Structure 1
């Protein structure tokens, strides 16, 4: 029963996100595919993968509270706009207070923009103080952001993103986890999907 309730909650939240900003919705779905593929490479448990799947899908759900003109802006955000955007992990936790989700899922939403060196947000958490699944999603999130569709810039190739992630090991990303992620990248590439309705139909199958 709990998985059914989670599915209903997830469908509702993701439908809202898709209507507000389709690119963020598509990004969230591909982040999930990247994260789950990497989790299988790491041989995480089925329970860890279930928590990861849910958390990765809704990691940006706080953007429901970000104004549309900021989410869809073509070009660099102003300092004020970026300050607003940086609040989305906190907004995400506010939204999740109304749903039945685990602490692991909440941690992904709250901490996926923290950095290994402590220069992330919203709490400047550092190193292993950042929950493991949030560190994993941070890698998947960054890879998708680099290689996915964005209206304001050209996408990096998988190889270019590999080099960028390699450079950020030990600063932005957990160095040990990054080493494994780079090994995974050498043997895998996750395609871009652009059909939001097809994706929405697949989400109820999540358990």
Structure 2
């Protein structure tokens, strides 16, 4: 993986692991989901390295979100949620300091935008959202629904499938969502439980 050849970016991910292991694990599994999907969808080869790097770094802005908000088990208060919603912009600010392709920064900035324009931070709509960020939004949402969370039980793969169906044309690009659903019918990405094992295998 290209990231691990860049020591500065390795240190960023180590910092994320130390601050919030769940976000680290989430980022790693989002990347596995996304890469499996792009192979299935036969996405253009030249986009693949950027998609991999952007998915792994998409939540790096959470380094600048207060730990007590990241670790809170109950529902966030409105003020806390507003702070959490800043992580895409914070992530873009962090990544702009590195010699990265522009789309990697845009993936961090735009992964919470929605097809219907009701996302954040800028309320982009439809194809105003970069293609790579639209793909990432699907992988990110699937992992969020089926991954480990201390404050709720996870959805099954089948339940998450139904949620993706509901989000077609509102949360998600409808064409991409249709292809993603086909991929879900053939693949299932297991949950990673051990952050220490991941680090041993990666660095």
Task: Specify the alignment match of 1:14 in structure 2.
Answer: 13
Task: Specify the alignment match of 1:43 in structure 2.
Answer: 42
Provide the rounded CA distance (Å) in 1 between the counterparts of 2:135 and 2:97: 25
Task: Give a deviation string over 1:154-181, Cα, whole Å, max 9, x none.
Answer: 0000000000010010000000000000
Task: Specify the alignment match of 1:166 in structure 2.
Answer: 165
Provide the rounded CA distance (Å) in 2 between the counterparts of 1:92 and 1:80: 19
Unaligned runs of 5+ in 1: none
Provide the rounded CA distance (Å) in 2 between the counterparts of 1:107 and 1:19: 25
Provide the rounded CA distance (Å) in 2 between the counterparts of 1:46 and 1:84: 36
User: TM-score when scaled to structure 1?
Assistant: 0.94
8 Å CA contact 1:115, 1:127 repeated in 2:
yes
User: TM-score when scaled to structure 2?
Assistant: 0.96
User: CA-atom RMSD, angstroms?
Assistant: 1.3
Provide the rounded CA distance (Å) in 2 between the counterparts of 1:5 and 1:159: 33
Corresponding residue pairs, total: 202
Unaligned runs of 5+ in 2: none
Task: Give a deviation string over 1:33-71, Cα, whole Å, max 9, x none.
Answer: 000000001112332111011000010000000000000
Task: Specify the alignment match of 1:96 in structure 2.
Answer: 95
User: Which runs of structure 2 are paired with 1:1-207 in the superposition (5 Å)?
Assistant: 7-204=6-203
Task: Give a deviation string over 1:88-115, Cα, whole Å, max 9, x none.
Answer: 0010011112211111101110000000
